Amino acid sequence: MREALEEAKIAASLGEAPIGAVIVQDGRIVGRGHNKTETDKDPTCHAEMNAIRQAAKKLGGWRLPRCSMYVTLEPCSMCAGAIVLARIERLYIGTLDPKSGACLSLRSIVTDERLNHRVEVTAGVLQEECSGLLKDFFKQLRKKKTTTPEEQ
C-alpha cells in the first residue's frame, strides 16, 4: 500500500485526484498507476485501469493470475468490473468511498456470486494515510476555488 500511496502523491503533483494503485504478482510489482483523467482527458484513466494496463502488458495477457491489487481508494464500478475481468485474486483497499465505491460501499461487484470470478477484499489498509491524502487534496482544491486570483 505504501507504493500505491507514492503513486497517489504523483497524481496529486499533477493536479489529479490523489489515487494510486499497484498490482503485485509473486511478491513483485508488475503494474502501477495513478489517476490521469485530467492529464490525458480520458475518463478511463483511473489509477486501477492504468495499473491493470501496465500489468497486462508486462505479463503478456489480459488475465492477471496470482495478482493482488493495492489501491488507496475503493474502486468505482468501472474499475471493479475491470478487476473482475482481469481475474485479480485479492484487492486491498486503503479507504472506502461512500459516494461511488463499488467493492463494499454502494455495491460489491468484485464479490458478486453471479459473476464468473470473485475477488477477496480487505479494506482499511493504511486507512489514515490514504484518507488523509484525499482530504488534504480536496481541502486545498476548495480553498483555491474560494480565493480570488489576487489572493493566490
* Phi (first) and psi of residue 130, to 5 degrees: -65, -45
Reported as a pLDDT band with limits 50, 70 and 90, residue 140 is confident
Rounded distance, CA 48 to CA 116, Å? 20
Determine whether 48 is an active site residue.
yes
Whole-number pLDDT of residue 141: 79
Catalytic residue among 3, 16, 38, 48: 48
The per-residue pLDDT for 149 is 54
**Alpha carbons 79 and 85: distance in angstroms, whole number:** 10
Q: Of how many residues is the chain composed?
A: 152
How does pLDDT run across 72-89, given as a tens digit for each residue?
A: 999 999 999 999 999 999
Q: How many CB atoms lie within 10 A of CB 69?
A: 30
Q: What is the pLDDT of residues 7-66, one digit of tens each?
A: 999 999 999 999 999 999 999 999 999 999 999 999 999 999 999 999 999 999 999 999
Q: What is the pLDDT of residue 138?
A: 87
